Chain A
């Protein structure tokens, strides 16, 4: 009995010992209770610089950060799922689970803080250019997005599983979770023991900007987020200032097949193909395209071929992760579709794939301009899509030439006449 008591006491002590660092992270630097004042930081920093105290650079830096960036108080944020969390120390070690959040980290200059990420951010083409055959393009992008190279960041998750033990070992301060996986966020908090911030976007332009602002707020990069949102607004305004003046009856109707026509009209295995569409795709509708599927109930919907024929769109847009599989020629040649105006007039076009384990806002902004040029070639002939694309990618990834690299292997941006 005595031994059991001692054993429990020992285990309790050991538990407390192991948990001590985690508990410490739940408090402000310098042992402050509630708020760090200027005099506290000043004494700490000056004493540290003079070598007159035992404080470390980590401790005084954390204190200076909390005082300067967070006004001396803990940083409380709410994610896009309405979950609130509080940070007591600067966020310096980050894990992401999908490319949309990884991309924003890089856009805000925090790429070097990425200590773990998902397979599509670091091992696929979702952030930096790479062919479906894993051939890297624009090496500068891969090398400069994070310290040591984006493709050398440890992979902590895939499409199907999360390596929680690996995440724990990387000691993150925060995990950015995709909003389409938000149901696993609380489980992740429990298993990894750090705040999990749910954030993501879709094809609604306001949601794209909300995503930028939300992640910026979490990272205390509000200014950078505002600047990126303003940049997007400027690009959008460049198009809408023209298309907003076009009468509705002059706007073309458009059918968008974002999953291509790789297997034809419908791929039973993936549950989608040419007949998969969206009722909302702002990069198409905000620039003066009338979405024929706008009245469909779901955002992500499969429709019958007969319905597409009945809609009789003026233009058909197709995208696929590998443009070779998009099936533009298949659609143009399909006997069932020959009555459609878009097919008869040859107005079936490849556009940029709007997915990549998420909704890449950089690519969808490029699509906005690219689609505008397709729908209204005369009105936007002056726009150099390569220059615009490179500028957009530079705003997100800080590297010039990313669009040019995409063009080199996607081919359609160069070869397709629009």
Chain B
């Protein structure tokens, strides 16, 4: 195999594959934008989705200290699809063909500094059977790959587990039968 052939058949496909894998997580069709307006001590944060229907996204925002959610969930957001975790200063939304959603906070600041927003395209199809938070996208940044406490990748990415478990089950069954035989004998 000459150099030209190696280049064509091995290196170029490999490079394209690597580029494809790098770009894969950011190829989702949805795009989430965040706008904020602050009036007196109240910040109104609005998330908009720029995508063609059908679309579906999950959004989570971590709020910095100095900002507070109201005690009543309805005062925070009128969305039906929201959950607030006051202990961890987080709020999450589910949007399905809903172009925007908003919520309010009280506190001081510009409503931007210290906030961390992540979202994930829930309709992105992939043959991958163990997707994790590597598909999460930090608003205005790159897909989340680290510093995430609830990565589900480790818990799920156990290729070959089924086969392994089946083999163990066979061995265990065999040992159990031998033990039973000896006992009965």
CA distance A6 to B124 in the complex (A): 46
Size class of the B contact interface (CB-based, 8 Å):
35 or more
CA distance A185 to B40 in the complex (A): 68
Closest to A147 in B: B20
Q: Across the interface, do B56 and A68 meet the contact criterion of CB distance under 8 Å?
A: yes
Q: Mark B83-116, 1 if CB is under 8 A from A, else 0.
A: 1010010101110110000000000000000000
**Which residues does chain B contribute within 8 Å of A3, judged by CB atoms?**
177, 180-181
Q: Which of A39, A57, A93 contacts B131 (CB 8 A)?
A: A57
- Report the minimum CB–CB distance from B176 to chain A (whole Å): 8
With A42-B94, A65-B56, A67-B96 known as contacts, the answer to whether A58 contacts B80 (CB < 8 A) is no
A21 close to B (CB within 8 Å): yes
**Which residues does chain A contribute within 8 Å of B54, judged by CB atoms?**
68-69
Q: Which chain B residues numbered 10 to 58 have a C-beta less than 8 Å away from chain A?
A: 12-13, 16-17, 20-21, 24, 54-56, 58
Closest to B119 in A: A49
Q: Mark B161-181, 1 if CB is under 8 A from A, else 0.
A: 010011001100100110011
Q: Across the interface, do A57 and B135 meet the contact criterion of CB distance under 8 Å?
A: yes
Q: Across the interface, do A112 and B81 meet the contact criterion of CB distance under 8 Å?
A: no
CA distance A45 to B122 in the complex (A): 9
B184 close to A (CB within 8 Å): yes
B140 close to A (CB within 8 Å): no
Total A-B pairs, Cβ < 8 A:
143
CA distance A68 to B13 in the complex (A): 35
Q: Across the interface, do B126 and A17 meet the contact criterion of CB distance under 8 Å?
A: no
- Report the minimum CB–CB distance from A115 to chain B (whole Å): 5
A232 close to B (CB within 8 Å): no
Q: Across the interface, do A110 and B152 meet the contact criterion of CB distance under 8 Å?
A: no
30 residue pairs bridging A and B, Cβ less than 8 Å apart: A3-B180, A3-B181, A6-B177, A14-B173, A38-B96, A42-B81, A46-B58, A48-B58, A49-B58, A50-B90, A51-B149, A56-B130, A61-B123, A61-B124, A65-B125, A67-B96, A68-B55, A68-B122, A69-B123, A90-B125, A92-B126, A110-B125, A112-B125, A112-B126, A143-B13, A143-B16, A147-B20, A148-B16, A152-B13, A152-B17
Closest 3 pairs (CB-CB, A-B) = A51-B150, A46-B83, A64-B122
Which residues of chain B have a CB within 8 Å of any CB of chain A? 12-13, 16-17, 20-21, 24, 54-56, 58-60, 80-83, 85, 88, 90, 92-94, 96-97, 118, 120, 122-127, 129-133, 135, 149-150, 152, 155-156, 162, 165-166, 169-170, 173, 176-177, 180-181, 184
